[in-house]
Chain A
């Protein structure tokens, strides 16, 4: 199975149509309730969002027509990626999402080194000791830089009090 750049075109067009839909939904409901959807251009808070949304819709329609015309002219997609090639990027995205979730749950110190190790493993590194050392050292170095020099309090998580450092 392959995924083509055309799929991304349709996904982006769907995004624009959805976005315009949300804008008009809000301007016709929430804005009206707040009493900011009418009057002259200065007082009408819906004026500019609606104008910009119409520009997006118009341009997206033209882009969509172009995509349809292109797909009828050439049956081969310009660029394809096999699903196999997407496994690593998707795993990275999922791993990153899991890391962000773990940051608030377990805190920086317990989440970061495992995440770094996971990404290095995903990239194909199989020297586990080297990867583990790099992950630990990098995690500690970044925490030192942010907490000591920039006075940033990193996520502590639920188990921060149990950590001895």
Chain B
């Protein structure tokens, strides 16, 4: 059962183009990861319009390469500049930057790359074992279970992703509404098309995503002052002695990778949460002679192995259940949907070769990360010197041409711009954007299964409590809502006590 997808997938993957695309993805991922403000999500957003013109496994290899490379790339700027390239690397700077200050920048970057690669492979082993089991279990699911599962996926992302749970729920619901534009899959009538033929299939997912994330980010970057400055950075050269250096901390490596994978499996938690959790655990388990926070190698090993193993973990619910583990997994799932493949238990039955191909390209991307990351470190350090005045126009150009390339439609371009404006307003108002993407992707799944469930039960909602798995998922959803309400109440209480104490300090 474990080997079967791998054997079938070898056929799809056995082509030099696939591995070239994986390598290209790693290079691009490391570049976007290293550049502050971009990151793997932006990298995938920018490459998505081009990727859908490739063969499915090649496209997935490219995107997995960006995901894996981008999850590691943020450590380069964190270590050298004390600015994490991505939130995933925020914990890496606790020990990575002090190591660089002590003249051990090359060791720190080498450790980051080696730990990321090994952590990713550990996550991959769990993916290969666990995903088929979960998919087999999910074959018992029918409409009520899928309804509850979709709600769990949405709630989890909405509750965890931003500062405000209410805003996360609104964002997810907005995504659900966007998914309803076009043809209703049950009645086959048009909804919210306003008699426009452009909206018969709704807004293209890529224009939504590119507009919300990439266009809004480019505009936000323009608020900065030093757009034309080049940071001065000393060149760094890494070698493969980083591998035994990382393996010296094998207990930390395995523990942190398991933490990252476990958290990656839970929808909503991403690499940032994994890396901070793994760092906290590693620090608490530190020996007396280990000084975390002052350039301890174990600090870099813990954070980087955790944030990369999260990638493998996030692919488990994405492939096995069709519920994306995070926004990046959602985009990869969207790519599969565009190719006419439906992640979930059905994919494990009918397209096991594609599943195996994805497993193999994921492993290949972690191997490529190790080789390319070590060999091409000077390139990624050089990339940090690129001025924003060159980067911003390039991002916008890729947004425009990439979106146009989807359907050669000018309407898609204007939709992208419109969503860019919406993205700017929502970011200023501190709404998380990831739940919108999850809502767009899970919308059809949720609506169709909800309506089917109510048809089966003759409009009775008790069907969700009568079936044990659906009831368990409903309980999880209620728990998530409870956690959300509790955290809202707690943050309000903290705010009010902080305001009270500052007012009393002022009155003295």
Contact = CB atoms under 8 A, between A and B. Distances in A.
Interface in B372-398: 387-390, 392-394, 396-398
A40 B414 CA distance: 37
Contacts of A47: 451
B294 interface: no
Given A12-B425, A96-B417, A146-B50, A103 B173 contact: no
Nearest to B439: A52
A158 interface: no
Interface string B163-200: 01011011001101100100010110111100000000
Given A11-B429, A45-B187, A103 B177 contact: no
Nearest to A122: B222
A132 to B, nearest CB: 12
Contacts of B164: 63
Interface in A1-41: 5, 7-9, 11-12, 15-16, 19, 22-23, 26, 31, 34, 36, 40-41
Contacts of B426: 12
Q: How large is the interface on A (under 10, 10 to 19, 20 to 34, 35 or more residues)?
A: 35 or more
Given A41-B454, A146-B405, A23 B417 contact: no
B174 A56 contact: yes
A5 B428 contact: yes
A100 B223 contact: no
A12 B420 CA distance: 14
Interface in B42-56: 50, 53
Nearest to A5: B428
B414 to A, nearest CB: 7
Given A45-B186, A120-B389, A150-B405, A100 B222 contact: no
Contacts of B454: 40-42
Nearest to B178: A19
Interface string A109-140: 00010011001101111000000001100110
A48 B447 contact: yes
Interface residues of B, number: 65
Contact of B191 (A5, A31, A62): A31
Interface in B192-215: 192, 215
B501 to A, nearest CB: 14
Contacts of B455: 40-42
Contacts of A146: 50, 401, 405
Given A34-B189, A49-B191, A59-B166, A8 B428 contact: yes
Contacts of A19: 174, 177
Given A9-B429, A88-B223, A150-B50, A63 B392 contact: no
A134 B190 CA distance: 46
Contact of B400 (A5, A43, A52, A99): A99
B413 A125 contact: no
Contacts of B218: 92
A108 B404 CA distance: 11
Interface string B278-295: 000000000000000000
A36 B184 contact: yes
A119 B451 contact: no
Contact of A119 (B174, B176, B228, B392): B392
Interface of B: 50, 53, 164, 166-167, 169-170, 173-174, 176-177, 180, 184, 186-187, 189-192, 215, 218-220, 222-223, 227-228, 387-390, 392-394, 396-398, 400-401, 404-405, 408, 410, 413-414, 417, 420-422, 424-426, 428-431, 447, 450-452, 454-455, 458-459, 499
| Across the A-B interface, the 10 shortest Cβ-Cβ residue pairs | A8-B428, A123-B389, A42-B455, A119-B393, A41-B454, A8-B429, A123-B227, A12-B429, A152-B405, A116-B393
Interface of A: 5, 7-9, 11-12, 15-16, 19, 22-23, 26, 31, 34, 36, 40-43, 45, 47-49, 52-53, 55-56, 59-60, 62-63, 66, 73-74, 81, 85-86, 88-89, 92-93, 96-97, 99-100, 103-104, 108, 112, 115-116, 119-120, 122-125, 134-135, 138-139, 142, 146, 150-155
13 contacts: A5-B430, A7-B428, A16-B170, A22-B192, A42-B186, A42-B454, A66-B166, A89-B222, A99-B400, A104-B410, A119-B396, A123-B387, A151-B53
Given A5-B428, A73-B499, A123-B228, 13 more contacts: A8-B429, A40-B454, A42-B455, A49-B177, A52-B176, A85-B223, A89-B222, A92-B396, A99-B396, A112-B397, A120-B390, A142-B398, A155-B410
